[in-house]
Structures are given as structure tokens and as C-alpha cells.
């Protein structure tokens, strides 16, 4: 996996050493000698990861990290602090400043590249979400710092000590069986797996969590022995999001949990915005029905199915009678209320397999799957009767607004394109309108 990495260190020898090691692994390297130039380089070069020294003159690494994470354009970039400082308070301070990882000099190549590749995999996913949801920035400060945590350990007493490390607003629970862990992981914000126990295969459990569609995005924090480098590397390669070394420090455990839960909340918010955007792309904002683009695409799909397998379908084009008169008499708010009310009644009458959308203005298109002309006539007649049976209420005055509709019906035929089907339905609708309105007419081929 290639990527651009920003190396920040005030000592040139350290920068050159890291550059050589990273370049040997085919990473592109950008350098900065202090905090301010690091922020400028991050904006200019958009790195995929930042390796940040702590002990620098002027702005130290902690403050540099805080400023990077406070910038909406930069906060998604993973930051790994690389330093000679190895006190627990330094690790916790770095994590609380927003760092994604904390490595101590001299840095072991295997550990460094395992961490780097793990964070780069996460950034690829995040970048894809951010690219698709580029219009709205999710404010990380608004994201929750609490969450539901599942601690997986076969040693009940040791597992409970881990659970007790999490304070409010975290809600931690202990699971001692892999199947129980998998079940609770589906609603968890973080899964902590003790990889040091010999009574079950924690790496296999982590792999199961990653392979399950419901838990694929759930962060995993693995607990490993400080001298078991192979287990740490293997865990990160399998998709464990972060590792913490024994002996465990409660403050570091809390800080790493906050980092993982915050990142998950950010990714979840991006996914929610993306789903909302996709829904808006195929939905008419006023009526909540599908929009014209969507129903036309589904009509095209029905025509393809007709050509492949002869799967029948029918179409109804429905128009609200004298809609301009409604707007002129009661105002555009009343017109909007009628459109919304029409859509509500239409939804109640539709089968689950039928598709309805606003075709334009006061016209609506319905696709009846597996239906012939008689089926479509019967269904459309129900719609017509439902509209005429009960008037709508004008907003404000509450005056009754009588509404009727007309509809034209046709069926898909071999060799049709979208325009052919719409033209026939429109011709039948025109006949219904011109012959008195408030009726449903099926298109019929005229004799030559």
C-alpha cells in the first residue's frame, strides 16, 4: 500500500533516517522541521499519515496535533507521535491531543510499518466516505465521547478489572464466550479483546468480527503482551484497529477507547449523511414519493426484463384534475397540501412491489409489476375513487378542497423504449381528460 507520509522532526538526521526507511517501503515522504511548517505542509501536500515528533522548539508535538485535529480540512489525517518520551502521562497526553498512535524511539521497523498500514487502511475507508459526502462537514466536537464497550476475556476476574477501567459515559460489559461476544458486538461501539489468554483464540474472534457484515466497521482494541511483537503485528494485519500493551494503564485504556469511539462516531455520521444523500437523490422532496429520474430508470429496467424473460408490467400516468384552479382558488400552500395528501393516499393503495413517483408537476407515474391492463385498470380505479371520496382540507381555513384525478393505462410491449410507453400512457390520459375527467382509460391500438 503506497501513501504520502509527512515526517515532522526538528532534527534533520531523524527526518532523513525515517525518510530512508519509509522510501524503502515505497512510501512518498514529505518533511517539516517544526509545528507551524507541519500544519502548512499538511494543507499543501494532503498527506495520508503524519509521523510527528513531540520535543520540538516553539510549538511542541502535542499542540501541533491539537491544531491539526481542530482543522476540519486536516482532522481526518491519522497522526502517529514518535518520541523518546515513554511516561504514561505523555502517552495519555498525546492520545488526548488527538493522536491515533504513540510510538517510542528507537522505533522498531516491524511495529512502525504494522501501525502505519493499519491506519492507512482506515483512512482509505474514511476518505471514500468523505469523498461521497463532500458537501457537509461533520463536526467532530459534537460527536459523543461515550459508548457501549464489550470486553472479551475468558478470565472473569481479569476481564472485570478491564471493565472497571472504563468510567462514565462509557458503558462496559464483560463477555467470556466468543459467541456471546459476537452477539453483543453487533450493538457495540468498541470491542476490547484480550489476546493474551490461552483459553481461546482472540485473533480468530477478531477475524470473525471483521467478516460479519453487521460488525465489519466496529473498532477492535486488542490487548497484547509488551514483548509479543508477532501478536501485535498479526492483530493489526487481521484488522484489529488498535493495540494496547500489558501492563495495562487505566488512563491509556480510556484514552485509546475515546479515540476509537470518536472515529467510529465520525464514520457513522458520514455514512448516515451518505445514505440520506442517496435517498434524496431518488426522492421527490415535497411528496416523499420517488422522483422522475428514479421511476424512469425503473421503467427502463422493466423493459429490459420484458425483453429477457417476457415479464409483464403495466403503467399508469395519473394527473390531478384542474390543479391550477386549486392553486388559484386556495393558494399554493393548498396545492402543496393536495400533492402531499394525494401521495399519502396513493401509498396506502399500492402493493409493496409497485413503484410510484412524481413524474412532474401534478402528474404521477406508477409501475405495476407483473400486471396486465385489467389489473392496472382495477388498481387505478381504486386510486381514483380514493381521491374523489374525501375532500382535502385547505391549510389555515380548513375549507374542503374537492379533488379528482384522471389516469391513462398501458402495458409494456416487446420492442418498446421508455418514450413509447410514456407516449401511450399519455395518449390514454389525454383521452380521459378530454372526455370528462375523473376517470381511468386504457390505451387501445386503433385499427389501421
User: Is there a domain that residue 279 lies in?
Assistant: no
Query: What local confidence, expressed as pLDDT, does residue 141 receive?
Result: 44
Domain boundary among 106, 132, 158: 132
CA proximity to 116, closest of 77, 156, 58: 77
For the stretch 91-123, pLDDT in tens is 888 888 989 888 888 888 888 898 898 888 888
Domain boundary among 240, 274, 308: 274
Grouping H, G, I as helix, E, B as strand and the rest as coil, residue 380 is: helix
Helix (H) or strand (E) holding 146: none
What residues in the chain have per-residue pLDDT under 70?
1, 128-146, 274-280, 446-448
CA 389 to chain centre: 43
Phi-psi region of 147 (alpha: psi -120 to 50; beta: other; left: phi over 0): left
Q: Domain check: are 225 and 336 in the same one?
A: no
Q: Domain check: are 360 and 424 in the same one?
A: yes
User: Is there a domain that residue 447 lies in?
Assistant: no
User: Is there a domain that residue 284 lies in?
Assistant: no
Domain boundary among 96, 111, 132: 132
Give the C-alpha separation, 117 to 133, whole Å: 24
User: Is there a domain that residue 296 lies in?
Assistant: yes
Predicted TM-score (pTM) above 0.75: no
> What CATH number does the domain containing 169 carry?
3.40.50.2300
Q: Domain check: are 141 and 80 in the same one?
A: no
User: Is there a domain that residue 390 lies in?
Assistant: yes
Query: Is 118:206 a contact under the CB 8 Å cutoff?
Result: no
Q: Three cell numbers at 180?
A: 456471546
Catalytically active residues, by annotation: 362
For the stretch 192-247, pLDDT in tens is 999 998 788 999 999 999 999 889 889 999 999 988 988 999 999 888 999 999 99
Provide the number of structural domains found in the chain: 3
3-state secondary structure 292-340: HHHHHHHHHHHHHHHHHHCCCEEEEEEEECCHHHHHHHHCHHHHHHHHH
Give the C-alpha separation, 63 to 60, whole Å: 6
Query: What local confidence, expressed as pLDDT, does residue 278 receive?
Result: 62
Residues 6+ apart with CB under 8 A from 102: 80, 81, 83, 90, 91, 94, 95
Burial 212-242 (b: 16+ CB within 10 A, else e): eeebeebbbbbbbeeebeebbbbbbebbbbb
Dihedrals phi, psi of 217, to nearest 5 degrees: -95, 0
Torsion of CA 194, 196, 198, 201, to 10 degrees: 50
Q: Domain check: are 404 and 429 in the same one?
A: yes
User: Is there a domain that residue 285 lies in?
Assistant: no
Give 179-183 contacts, CB < 8 A, sequence gap 24+: 181/150, 181/152, 181/205, 181/209, 182/208, 182/209, 182/212, 182/215
> What CATH number does the domain containing 322 carry?
3.30.70.270
Q: Domain check: are 329 and 350 in the same one?
A: yes
Query: What does the DSSP 8-state code read for residue 437?
Result: S
β strands within 331-433, DSSP E: 355-360, 363-369, 392-393, 400-401, 405-411
Classify residue 445 as exposed, middle or buried by CB count within 10 Å of its CB (0-12, 13-18, 19+): exposed
Domain enclosing residue 174, as ranges: 137-274
Amino acid at each position: 500500500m503506497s501513501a504520502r507520509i509527512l515526517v515532522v522532526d526538528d532534527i534533520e538526521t531523524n527526518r532523513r533516517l525515517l525518510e530512508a526507511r519509509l522510501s524503502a517501503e515505497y512510501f512518498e515522504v514529505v518533511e517539516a522541521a517544526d509545528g507551524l511548517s507541519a500544519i502548512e505542509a499538511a494543507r499543501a501536500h494532503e498527506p495520508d499519515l503524519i509521523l510527528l515528533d513531540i520535543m520540538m522548539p516553539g510549538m511542541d508535538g502535542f499542540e501541533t496535533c491539537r491544531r491539526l485535529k481542530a482543522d476540519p480540512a486536516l482532522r481526518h489525517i491519522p497522526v502517529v507521535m514518535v518520541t523518546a518520551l515513554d511516561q504514561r502521562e505523555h502517552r495519555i497526553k498525546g492520545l488526548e491531543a488527538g493522536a491515533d498512535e504513540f510510538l517510542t524511539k528507537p522505533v522498531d521497523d516491524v511495529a512502525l510499518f504494522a501501525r502505519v498500514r493499519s491506519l492507512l487502511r482506515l483512512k482509505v475507508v474514511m476518505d471514500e466516505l468523505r469523498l461521497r459526502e463532500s458537501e457537509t462537514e461533520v463536526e467532530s466536537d459534537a460527536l459523543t465521547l461515550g459508548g457501549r464497550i464489550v470486553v472479551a476475556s475468558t478470565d472473569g476476574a481479569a476481564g472485570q478489572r478491564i471493565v472497571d477501567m472504563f468510567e462514565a459515559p462509557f458503558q462496559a460489559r464483560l463477555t467470556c464466550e466468543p459467541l456471546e461476544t459476537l452477539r453483543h458486538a453487533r450493538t457495540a461501539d468498541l470491542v476490547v479483546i484480550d489476546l493474551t489468554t490461552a483459553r481461546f483464540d482472540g485473533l480468530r474472534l477478531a477475524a470473525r468480527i471483521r467478516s460479519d457484515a453487521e460488525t465489519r466497521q466496529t473498532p477492535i482494541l486488542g490487548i497484547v503482551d509488551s514483548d509479543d511483537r508477532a501478536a501485535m503485528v498479526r492483530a493489526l494485519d487481521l484488522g484489529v484497529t488498535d493495540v494496547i500493551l500489558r501492563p495495562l494503564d487505566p488512563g491509556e485504556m480510556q484514552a485509546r477507547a475515546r479515540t476509537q469511539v470518536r472515529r467510529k462516531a465520525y464514520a457513522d455520521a458520514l455514512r448516515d449523511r451518505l445514505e440520506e444523500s442517496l435517498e434524496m437523490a431518488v426522492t421527490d422532496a415535497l411528496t416523499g414519493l420517488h422522483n422522475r429520474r428514479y421511476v424512469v430508470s425503473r421503467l427502463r429496467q422493466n423493459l429490459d426484463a420484458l425483453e429477457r424473460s417476457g415479464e409483464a408490467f403495466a403503467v399508469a400516468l395519473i394527473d390531478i384534475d384542474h390543479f391550477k384552479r386549486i392553486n388559484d382558488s386556495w393558494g399554493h400552500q393548498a396545492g402543496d397540501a393536495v400533492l402531499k395528501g394525494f401521495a399519502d393516499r396513493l401509498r396506502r393503495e399500492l402493493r409493496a412491489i409497485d413503484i410510484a413517483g412524481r413524474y412532474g408537476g401534478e402528474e404521477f407515474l406508477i409501475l405495476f409489476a407483473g400486471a396486465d391492463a385489467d389489473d392496472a385498470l382495477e388498481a387505478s380505479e381504486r386510486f381514483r375513487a380514493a381521491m374523489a371520496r374525501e375532500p382535502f382540507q385547505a391549510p389555515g381555513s380548513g375549507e374542503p378542497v374537492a379533488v379528482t384525478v384522471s389516469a391513462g393505462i398501458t402495458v409494456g410491449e416487446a420492442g418498446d423504449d421508455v418514450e413509447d410507453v410514456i407516449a401511450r400512457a399519455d395518449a390514454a390520459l389525454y383521452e380521459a381528460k378530454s372526455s370528462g375527467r375523473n376517470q381511468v382509460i386504457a390505451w387501445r391500438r386503433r385499427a389501421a
